[in-house]
Amino acid sequence: MTALYRRYGPGLTGLILALTGFWIIFLVTLPQLDMVDYSFRPNLSMSERGGPNDVYTLQNYATLADNAIHRAIFLKTIWASALVTLTTLIVCYPIAYHLAQGTTRRQAALLMLLLLIPFWINEILRTFAWWILLAYAGPLNNMLVALGLIERPIRFLSGDGGVIVGMVYAYILFMVMPIYNAIESLDRNQIEAARDLGASPWRIHWRVVIPHAKPGIAVGCIMTFMLAAGSYAVPALLGSPGSRWFTQIIYSWFFEGGNWNQGSAYAFILLLLCIGFIFGVMRLARIGLADIAK
C-alpha cells in the first residue's frame, strides 16, 4: 500500500483504492455473500422480514433433496456437463495440436482467425443457427431423409442431444485456446526425438504431448464444465420442457415462483458444484489459480 502511495501520490492512490475496493467489495464479494445468506432464510413477505420468522434454516436445501424431478435435473446437469466437457476435449485436442505443432506459423495464424470468427459472434446467434439446423423440418432432417438414412425426421430439439451438441459448439474456443497455448510451448525437438526413438504417434501423444499440455487441458476442462453447467442460453433455446437444465429451474424460482431464497439455495448449490469441479481438476493437474487466468 505504501509502495502504491509513493508511486502515485494521494489523489491517484485514492482513486485506485476506491475503484478496486468498489469492485472487490460491492460487485464481487458482498453480492455472493448476500446470495448465500439469502439461501439460508425462509421466503418471507416484506413485512415479516427481520421478524420472529426470519431465522436461518436449511429448508431451501431440503427442497432439492425432497424434489425428485429437481434432483434428477441436477444430476443430469452434472453428467451432461461432464459429457460436454469430454466431447469438447476430444474434438478440440487434435485441432489444438495441429495449430501448435503440425503447421507453419502463417497457416496457424490463418486457421486461428477462422477459429476465432464464429466466437466473435453472439452465443445466442450461434445457438440460433443450430436451432435452425436441428429443427424438425430443418435441413439436417431433410438431408438425412433424402439420403435414406432415416425414415422419419428426428425431434433433435426435444431431448438433451440438441443441448449437448449446441454446447460443444459454443465452448470449442475455451478448450482450444488453453490447450493450444500449452502445446505451443512444447519444444518440437522433443516430438522429433520421441519419433526418432521409434515411438508410435499414439505413444508420442500419451507420453510426451499430453503430459506437457496437462495444465492447458485442465484449464480447458474447467472453463467448459463451468460454462456448460452454468449455461442458460443454450438449454433455453435448444432444449424443451422435457430436457430442462438446472439453471432453468433457478430462473423459474426467481421469475415464476417468486421465491428468491429458494432460487439462491439452488444457485449456491450450482456454485459449489463448479467450485468443487475446479478444485478437483486443479488438484489432479497440480495447477494454481494464476495458470487458469491466462
One residue of 144, 154, 254, 285 binding another protein per CB under 8 A = 254
Stretch touching another protein by CB under 8 A, among 58-66, 179-187, 204-212, 222-230: 222-230
Residue 138 CA to residue 131 CA, distance in Å, equals: 9
22 three-state secondary structure: helix
Q: Which range in 65-73, 127-135, 177-185, 204-212 contacts another protein by CB under 8 A? A: 127-135
290 binds another protein (CB under 8 A): yes
Alpha carbon distance 2, 13 (integer Å): 10
Say how many CA atoms lie within 13 Å of 275 toward its Cβ.
Answer: 6
Residues in the interface with another protein (CB under 8 A) total 90
Q: Which stretch binds another protein (CB under 8 A): 64-72, 177-185, 204-212, 247-255?
A: 247-255
The nearer residue to another protein, 213 or 264, going by C-beta atoms, is 264
Between the two ends of the chain, the Cα-to-Cα distance in Å is 25
Q: Does 128 help bind another protein (rule: CB under 8 A)?
A: yes
Of 65-73, 119-127, 185-193, 202-210, which segment contacts another protein by CB under 8 A?
A: 119-127
Helix axes 59-66, 260-285, angle to 10 degrees: 80
Residues 50-89 that bind another protein (CB under 8 A): none
Neighbours of 8 (CB within 10 A): 14
In the bound state with another protein, the residue whose beta carbon lies nearer, of 211 and 276, is 276
Q: Report how far residue 294's alpha carbon sits from residue 275's, in angstroms, rounded to the nearest whole number.
A: 18
- The CA distance from 187 to 202, in Å, is 18
CA-CA-CA-CA dihedral for 275, 56, 264, 42, to nearest 10: 160
Task: Please state the closest distance from residue 55 (CB atom) to another protein, in A.
Answer: 18
Q: What burial letters (b/e) apply to 244-255, b meaning 16+ CB within 10 Å? A: bbbbbbbbebbe
Q: How far apart are CA 275 and CA 267, in angstroms?
A: 12
* By the rule CB under 8 A, 194 interacts with another protein: no
Spatial distance between the Cα atoms of 123 and 120, rounded to a whole number of angstroms: 9
**C-alpha grid cell, residue 168:** 460443444
Q: Binding of another protein at residue 271 (CB under 8 A)?
A: yes
Site string for another protein, 142-181 (x = CB under 8 A): xx-------------------------x--x---------
The residue within the footprint of another protein, chosen from 115, 163, 177, 183 (CB under 8 A), is 115
Q: Does 90 bind another protein (CB under 8 A)?
A: no
- Quick one: which segment of 60-68, 109-117, 178-186, 206-214 binds another protein (CB under 8 A)? 109-117
The verdict on 19 binding another protein (CB under 8 A) reads: yes
